Structure 1
Amino acid sequence: MPLLEMKGVTQRFGGLQAVSDFNISLEERKLIALIGPNGAGKTTVFNLISGFYQPTEGQIIFDGQPTAGLRPHQVTARGIARTFQNIRLWHEMSVLNNIRIAQHHRLGYTIWDAFLRTGRFTKSEGNIDAIAWEMLEAMDLKDAAHELPRNLPYGLQRRVEIARAMSIRPKLLLLDEPAAGLNSADVDGLIKLIRWIHDEFDIAIWMIEHQMKVVMSLCEWIKVIDFGSTIAEGTPEEIQSNPVVIKAYPGDDTI
């Protein structure tokens, strides 16, 4: 059974059709990419999977169950985590608390438990702390645990965002342009990090990315969309030589 299926998914915003008849079957532990020119509809696809939008038409099935009607936090609880093109961290909270807060769906206690400091509250908070510190260590962020994210270099902020997503123990990690804004050294580090996450945690990863160095270094399969419609899909080698894809990226010799 595929981990994620999208069948005939279409998304309209008034008279604008952002995604048209989108289909994909993503197996467990795969590492794939969704690419296309700016405005092609890539982030809309991720927003549909994440529950930010409900498709106008079609069906999304994750881990054997439809996601129709689920809110974003419910999708997250099912095992889908994501990052965003523009880093979204709480800059007034420490790195540690940024990761802890991702566990809100696992709290398991009431406001009265928190007020009275019951055993249920203490146990739940202890588990959350343990998960957060484990992820900080795994992502080499322990030294930054008590720093505010805004005081960290951009590359480390991106790592914190990925660590926060990974702290929910996802089955599928969605990365929306993880290399955006990174310098060449940070991009090399990102490639190593994503490869390590994929191997270490044995999860599926689906990324949107404009830097072809990242895509071609990591991905087993690439799907290409333009104006909301699929124009090609295949291995990195097939995509690099596809004339339809090359035409969609005028003047870009990295394809």
Structure 2
Amino acid sequence: MALLDVKEMTQYFGGLCAVSEFSVSLEPGQMVALIGPNGAGKTTVFNLISGFYKPTRGDILFKGESIKGLKPHQVTGRGIARTFQNIRLWFEMTVLDNIRIAQHHALGYGLWDCFLRTPRYMQSERAIEDHAMDVLTRLGLREVAHEYPKNLPYGVQRMVEIARALSIRPALLMLDEPAAGLNSSDVEGLIKLIGDIHKDFGLTVWMIEHQMDVVMTLCSWIKVIDFGATIAEGGPAAIQNSPEVIKAYLGDDTI
């Protein structure tokens, strides 16, 4: 059974078709890329999968069950985590608190437990903090656990956002342009980081990325969309030599 099976997903915004009959099947343990020119509909696809929009048509199956129409927190609870193209951290909270708060869906206590600081509350909070510190340690971020993200370099902020996504113990990690804004040395570190995460956490990774070094190094399968429609898919070599992909990225005069 595929981990994620998207079937002819279509999304209209008014009269504009942002995504047209998009289908993809991700197997457990795969590392896959979704690429295309700016405005192609890539982030809209991720927003549909993660529950920010409900598809106009089609279906989204995760672990064999439809998640179409679920709210973002419900999708997260099923085991899908994502990052965003523009970093979305709580900059006035510590790195540790950013990681802890991402586990709100798995709290083992209620409001009165919180007010009365019951044993159930204390035990759950300890478990959440221990897990957050474990994730930060595995990503080499333990030393910045009590820092504020606003005081950290941009590349480290990116890593914190990935750590927050990993803290929910996802089966599928969706990365929306993780290399955006990084310099060349940071990109090299990111490639190693994502590769290590894929291996160490045993995840399926699906990324949107414009940095072709990242895509071609890490991904075994690449899907390309333009104007919301799929124009090519295949392995790195096939995509690099696809006339349709070259045309979409570089224009008619290049082929």
**Common fold: TM-score over 0.5:** yes
Structure 1 CA distance, aligned partners of 2:71 and 2:101? 18
Structure 2 CA distance, aligned partners of 1:62 and 1:185? 36
Q: CA deviation at 1:250?
A: 0.9
Instruction: Name the structure 2 match of 1:48.
Output: 48
Q: TM-score, normalised by structure 2?
A: 0.98
Q: Secondary structure at the match of 2:193?
A: helix
Q: Secondary structure at the match of 1:91?
A: coil
Instruction: Name the structure 2 match of 1:104.
Output: 104
Q: Secondary structure at the match of 1:210?
A: coil
CA contact (8 A) 2:53 2:69 kept: no
Gaps of 5+ in 2: none
Instruction: Name the structure 2 match of 1:33.
Output: 33
Gaps of 5+ in 1: none
Instruction: Name the structure 2 match of 1:93.
Output: 93
| Percent sequence identity over aligned pairs | 68
Instruction: Name the structure 2 match of 1:145.
Output: 145
Q: CA deviation at 1:192?
A: 0.1
Instruction: Name the structure 1 match of 2:64.
Output: 64
Q: TM-score, normalised by structure 1?
A: 0.98
Q: CA deviation at 1:68?
A: 2.1
Structure 2 CA distance, aligned partners of 1:2 and 1:139? 28
Instruction: Name the structure 1 match of 2:175.
Output: 175
Q: Does 2:193 align with 1:193? A: yes
Instruction: Name the structure 1 match of 2:117.
Output: 117
Q: CA deviation at 1:99?
A: 0.3
Q: Deviations over 1:110-143 (max 9, x none)?
A: 1110000001101110110111010110010111
CA contact (8 A) 2:55 2:69 kept: no
Instruction: Name the structure 1 match of 2:250.
Output: 250
Structure 1 CA distance, aligned partners of 2:52 and 2:208? 17
Structure 2 CA distance, aligned partners of 1:32 and 1:80? 15
Q: Deviations over 1:15-56 (max 9, x none)?
A: 110000001111000000000000000000000110000000
Q: CA deviation at 1:219?
A: 0.3
Instruction: Name the structure 2 match of 1:24.
Output: 24
Structure 2 CA distance, aligned partners of 1:23 and 1:228? 12
Structure 2 CA distance, aligned partners of 1:31 and 1:15? 34
Structure 1 CA distance, aligned partners of 2:189 and 2:172? 21
Structure 2 CA distance, aligned partners of 1:105 and 1:115? 19
Aligned-residue CA RMSD (Å): 0.6
Alignment of 1:228-239 (within 5 A): 228-239=228-239
Counterpart amino acid of residue 101 in structure 1: I
Q: Secondary structure at the match of 2:47?
A: helix
Counterpart amino acid of residue 195 in structure 1: G
* Deviation >6 Å, runs of 4+: none
Q: Secondary structure at the match of 2:73?
A: helix
Instruction: Name the structure 2 match of 1:8.
Output: 8
Counterpart amino acid of residue 39 in structure 1: G
Instruction: Name the structure 2 match of 1:223.
Output: 223
Q: Secondary structure at the match of 2:250?
A: coil
Q: CA deviation at 1:69?
A: 2.4
Structure 1 CA distance, aligned partners of 2:65 and 2:189? 35
Q: Secondary structure at the match of 2:103?
A: helix
Instruction: Name the structure 2 match of 1:133.
Output: 133
Structure 2 CA distance, aligned partners of 1:47 and 1:27? 20
Structure 2 CA distance, aligned partners of 1:113 and 1:69? 32
